């Protein structure tokens, strides 16, 4: 394998290792409801922002998801779709 091939392989391994949301990479805009709800299995809505943050943290959500919620201006969420829109940056 040449030098260029090695660099490509290194980059692919780095990207695989650093994709906190599986195939989402750095973009939370690709997160879907099914992926998000795995971090909210026992969440009853409506729920406060603190309750949602606690639930996703306790269920192993990537730091990017937790940060988006913590930095959100929302005080509460009526359903998982509202949480998803916030995590995606649409709210």
Average pLDDT per block of 10 residues along the chain, 91 residues long: 46 41 57 90 96 96 94 96 91 69
Tell me the torsion sign for CA atoms 58, 62, 66, 72.
negative
Give pLDDT, residue 47: 98
- Confirm whether pTM is higher than 0.75: no
Give pLDDT, residue 2: 52
């Amino acid at each position: 394998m040449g030098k260029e091939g090695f660099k490509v392989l290194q980059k692919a391994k780095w990207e695989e290792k650093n994709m906190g949301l599986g195939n989402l990479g750095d973009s939370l805009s690709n997160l879907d409801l099914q992926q998000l709800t795995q971090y909210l299995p026992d969440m009853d809505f409506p729920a406060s922002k603190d309750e949602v943050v606690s639930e996703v943290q306790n269920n192993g959500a990537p730091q990017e998801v937790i940060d988006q919620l913590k930095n959100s201006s929302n005080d509460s969420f009526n359903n998982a779709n509202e949480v998803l829109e916030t995590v995606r940056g649409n709210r």
